[in-house]
Amino acid sequence: MSLRNSRALAVALVTFATFTDIVAYAIAIPVLPALSRKLGASPTMIGLLFGSFGVTLLTVSMPMGAISDRVGRKGPIVGGLVALFGASLLFAFADSLPWLFAARLVQGAADAVTWVVGFALIADVYDSSERGKVTGIVMMGTSFAVMIGPTIGGWLYEIGGIRLPFIFVAVMAAIAVGLFAWLQIPPRHGDAEHVPIGVVLRIPAVGACALAVVAISSTISMMEPILSLYLAGLGIGPARVGTIYGAAAVGGTLMHPIYGRMADRFGARRMTTIGLAMTACFVPCLGFARGYPSALGLFFLAAAGAAVVITPSLSYMGEATSDAGIRSFGVAYGLYNLAWGAGLLGGPALGGFLFERVGFARLLLAWSPFLALVSVALATVRSEGPRRAKAEG
Whether 172 is in a domain gets the answer yes
Note whether 309 and 375 are same-domain residues: yes
The answer to whether position 131 is within a domain reads yes
> Is residue 293 predicted with pLDDT exceeding 70?
yes
Q: What is the pLDDT of residue 51?
A: 75
Examine the domain organization and report whether 114 and 201 are in the same domain.
no
**CA angle (24 as vertex; 56, 10 as ends), nearest 5:** 90
H/E stretch holding 53 reads: helix 43-71
Q: Note the pLDDT of residue 33.
A: 75
Q: For residues 63 and 130, state if they share a domain.
A: yes
Same domain, residue pair 321 and 257: yes
- Cβ pair 76, 68 in contact under 8 A: yes
Task: Show which of 141, 157, 182 is a domain's final residue.
Answer: 182
CA distance 115 to 19: 10
Packing angle of the helix pair 74-93, 7-38 (nearest 10 deg): 20
| pTM of this structure | 0.81
Compute the distance between CA of residue 136 and CA of residue 109 in angstroms, rounded to an integer.
24
Q: Is 62 part of a structural domain of the chain?
A: yes
* 265 and 364, same domain (yes or no): yes
Question: Same structural domain for residues 175 and 207?
Answer: no
pLDDT of residue 191: 54
DSSP-assigned letters across all residues of 252-278: HHHHHHHHHHHHHHH-HHHHHHHHHHH
**356 in a structural domain:** yes
Q: Domain ends where: 157, 182, 207?
A: 182
Q: What residues contact residue 190 under an 8 Å CB cut-off, 6+ apart? A: 127, 322, 327
100-109, 156-165, 175-184, 376-385 — which is least confidently predicted? 376-385
* Residues 273, 242 share a domain: yes
35 is a domain residue: yes
Show which of 150, 182, 214 is a domain's final residue: 182
- The verdict on 223 and 129 lying in the same domain is no
Average pLDDT over residues 98-115: 93
Asked if the model's pLDDT at residue 390 lies above 70, the reply is no
pLDDT bin (cut points 50, 70, 90) of residue 387 is: very low
With respect to residue 19, please indicate whether it lies within any of the assigned structural domains: yes
Q: Are residues 321 and 363 in the same domain?
A: yes
Per-residue pLDDT band for 284 (boundaries 50, 70, 90) equals very high
AA letter at 179: L
For residues 283 and 370, is the Cβ–Cβ distance under 8 A? Answer: no
Under 8 Å CB-to-CB from 72, ≥6 apart: which residues? 185
Q: Which domain holds residue 70?
A: 3-182
Number of domains in the chain: 2
For 161-233, where are the alpha helices, taking DSSP H only? 164-182, 197-201, 204-233
pLDDT higher than threshold 90 for residue 353: no
The 10 Å CB-count burial string (b at 16+, else e) for 170-191 is: bebbbebbebbeebeebeeeee
* Residue 191 placed within a domain: no
pLDDT at 308: 92
Q: What is the distance between the alpha carbons of residues 238 and 171, in angstroms, rounded to a whole number?
A: 31
Q: For position 37, which CATH number holds?
A: 1.20.1250.20
Nearest to residue 165, comparing CAs of 180, 155, 179?
A: 155
Mean pLDDT value of segment 247-253:
81
pLDDT value, residue 326: 78
Same domain, residue pair 235 and 91 = no
Question: In the predicted model, is pLDDT for residue 258 greater than 50?
Answer: yes
**Average of per-residue pLDDT across 74-95:** 94
Task: Report which DSSP code applies to 284.
Answer: G
Q: pLDDT tens for residues 196-240?
A: 677 777 888 999 999 999 999 999 888 877 887 888 888 887 777
pLDDT score at 28: 77
Closest CA to 315 of 260, 390, 379: 260
Same domain, 166 and 307: no
Q: Rounded mean pLDDT of the chain? A: 85
| Statement: residue 386 has pLDDT above 90 | no
Do 171 and 235 have their domain in common?
A: no
Confirm whether 342 is domain-assigned.
Answer: yes
Helix extents (H) in 126-196? 131-160, 164-182
Give residue 192's pLDDT band: very low, low, confident or very high (50, 70, 90): low
List, as one string, the DSSP characters of 309-340: HHHHHHHHHHHHHHHTT---HHHHHHHHHHHH
Q: Which of 157-161, 198-202, 294-298, 378-382 has the lowest mean pLDDT?
A: 198-202
